């Protein structure tokens, strides 16, 4: 008989066993446990038909329709499960830990596999990961104006053996109007949270975790409330780098980007830039004067950043001033400060 286990144990076992998500492809694409394999009991269309039958005729008739649909596919399900099984063991879940996962787990066990199901299903998993973001940790927030090289500093810190939650990397977004340029397509917000949780759960949460200071929203992805609350109440180490150094960095990052993409990014913030500065930016793009574009847009982003910092508690921001944009040296300095 299939064993039922809670999310914490399910995810521990998922490190060495395959997770089979039996929800429909549309449900899986919206968000899933990272690394899971989709072996859907019903296609999107079949699920819709069974749901309609349930509403119109009740559970008994819906189950009969489901059996009629699933019957011819049972052998295929077993063969797919055996391909991904490790030591003849699999983990199975559906949306709420109901009939879909129970029936598939029964089928797999009948065929000689050992199957465990997730109590509460994917819904229970989602609740569990949000609870984990609420657990207090030693969170170190690295702040700084746009163009300060914060991500590069944090990657150097990570290279030195520290833990870094790369929110922008997971979101495929750098957090500004230019944030999607050169990035992969963004995930659904639901799956962004799942990928964030995957990284979070792999950390040793008795040790410090570094994170970049972010707004709540990165493109179409939102940082989960419990995590964002911790980020807003944690101590911030703010890197101060001269504006000219930041302009150089931005020019190096964006000078070879298609002009249409840069123009589109400017149009996203034109209402806040104002008519004159928008016009200046657009003309500068055409003239390939990217330093001027960076200079003007930094004025806008710097004001927004300062406003966000003004809402933090007094004494929660520690400024560290550098004359040069040198991420590795800055990282080394920060690590030495952590030892004091």
Catalytic residue, from 19, 22, 94, 142: name it.
Answer: 94
pLDDT at 140: 97
Which pLDDT score, from 0 to 100, does residue 54 have? 86
Quote the pLDDT of residue 257.
Answer: 86
Instruction: Quote the tokens at residue 307.
Output: 């406003």
Whether the per-residue pLDDT at 194 is higher than 90: the answer is yes
What are the residue ranges of helices labelled H in the chain? 7-13, 25-30, 44-57, 59-70, 74-84, 99-110, 121-133, 150-159, 167-171, 189-202, 225-233, 243-254, 259-268, 270-273, 275-286, 290-310, 327-339
- 281 carries an active-site annotation: no
What domains are defined for the chain?
Answer: 3-129 (3.40.250.10), 136-339 (3.40.50)
At 243-300, the pLDDT tens digits run: 999 999 999 998 888 899 999 999 999 999 999 999 999 999 999 999 999 999 999 9
Q: What is the pLDDT of residues 85-120, one digit of tens each?
A: 999 999 999 999 999 999 999 999 999 999 999 999
Over the stretch 18-44, which tens digit does the pLDDT of each residue have?
999 999 999 999 999 999 999 999 999
Whether the pLDDT of residue 1 is over 90: the answer is no
Q: Can you give the pTM of this predicted structure? A: 0.93
Structure confidence by residue, pLDDT tens digits, 203-257? 999 999 999 999 999 999 999 999 999 999 999 999 999 999 999 999 999 888 8
């Amino acid at each position: 008989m299939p064993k039922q286990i809670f999310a914490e144990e399910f995810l521990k076992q998922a490190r060495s066993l395959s997770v089979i998500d039996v929800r429909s492809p549309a449900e899986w694409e919206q968000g899933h446990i990272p690394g899971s394999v989709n072996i859907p009991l019903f296609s999107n269309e079949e699920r819709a038909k069974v749901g309609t039958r349930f509403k119109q005729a009740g559970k008994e008739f819906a189950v009969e329709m489901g059996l009629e649909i699933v019957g011819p596919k049972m052998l295929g399900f077993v063969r797919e499960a055996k391909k991904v099984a490790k030591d003849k063991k699999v983990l199975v879940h559906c949306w709420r830990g109901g009939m879909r996962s129970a029936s598939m787990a029964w089928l797999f066990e009948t065929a000689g596999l050992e199957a465990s199901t997730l109590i509460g299903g994917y819904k229970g998993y989602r609740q569990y990961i949000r609870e984990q973001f609420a657990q207090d940790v030693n969170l170190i927030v690295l702040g700084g104006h746009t163009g300060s090289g914060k991500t590069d500093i944090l990657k150097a810190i990570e290279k030195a053996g520290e833990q870094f939650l790369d929110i922008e990397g997971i979101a495929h977004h750098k957090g500004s109007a230019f944030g999607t340029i050169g990035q992969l397509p963004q995930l659904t917000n639901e799956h962004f949270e799942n990928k964030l949780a995957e990284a979070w759960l792999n950390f040793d949460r008795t040790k410090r975790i570094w994170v970049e200071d972010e707004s709540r929203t990165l493109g179409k992805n939102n940082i989960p409330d419990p995590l964002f609350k911790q980020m807003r109440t944690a101590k911030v180490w703010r890197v101060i780098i001269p504006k000219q150094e930041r302009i150089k960095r931005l020019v190096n990052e964006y000078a070879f980007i298609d002009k249409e993409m840069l123009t589109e990014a400017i149009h996203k913030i034109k209402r806040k830039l104002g008519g004159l500065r928008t016009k200046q930016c657009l003309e500068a793009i055409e003239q390939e004067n990217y330093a001027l574009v960076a200079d003007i847009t930094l004025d806008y982003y710097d004001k927004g950043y300062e406003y966000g910092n003004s809402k933090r508690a007094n004494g929660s921001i520690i400024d560290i001033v550098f004359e040069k944009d040198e991420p590795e040296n800055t990282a080394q300095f920060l690590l030495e400060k952590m030892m004091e």
